[in-house]
């Protein structure tokens, strides 16, 4: 199983980035995909998730209104569109696959079975 996150980079505050998470080796259709981030010196935190069963999306408060998570099951790829980026969004962003369809299991990294390597997002002021 492999999850490959990409699309990170350096962007000015107010800019946008679109992250991709390409999956292989698993039945992508039956996994919820979550996005997490880890800033320097901090723990990993939940950003967003998209439910495999009904496509509903879930966001951390800090991401609501600015970030959009989506998926394309045919391409086995999930996306995280990030708009109006701020310097405190600087972090390594990782995607992960979760076999649950209940949102109770989306917000904690413990319930995710597979992880991508992460992509660096740097937002300059």
Residue-level pLDDT at 71: 98
Cβ count within 10 A of residue 117? 12
Q: How confident is the model at residue 122 (pLDDT cuts 50, 70, 90)?
A: very high
Contact (CB, 8 A) for 101 and 34: no
Residue-level pLDDT at 85: 98
The pair of three-digit structure tokens given for residue 4, joined into one six-digit string: 């490959």
Please, which residues bridge with residue 92 across strands? 38, 120
Contact (CB, 8 A) for 108 and 13: no
Q: What pLDDT digit, counting tens, does each position of 9-60 carry?
A: 999 999 999 999 999 999 999 999 999 999 999 999 999 999 999 999 999 9
Q: How confident is the model at residue 2 (pLDDT cuts 50, 70, 90)?
A: very high
Residue-level pLDDT at 61: 97
How is 6-18 classified by DSSP, letter by letter? Answer: E--EEEETT--EE
CA atoms within 13 A on the CB side of 115: 14
């Amino acid at each position: 199983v492999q999850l490959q996150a990409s699309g990170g980079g350096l962007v000015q505050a107010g800019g946008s980035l679109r992250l991709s998470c390409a999956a292989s080796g698993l039945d992508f259709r039956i996994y919820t995909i979550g996005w997490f981030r880890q800033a320097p010196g901090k723990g990993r935190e939940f950003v967003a998730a998209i439910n495999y069963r009904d496509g509903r999306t879930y966001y951390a408060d800090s991401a609501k209104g600015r970030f959009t998570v989506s998926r394309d099951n045919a391409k086995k790829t999930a996306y995280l569109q990030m708009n109006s980026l701020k310097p405190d969004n600087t972090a390594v962003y990782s995607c992960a696959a979760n076999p649950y369809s209940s949102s109770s299991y989306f917000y904690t990294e413990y319930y995710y079975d597979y992880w991508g390597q992460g992509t660096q997002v740097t937002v300059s002021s």
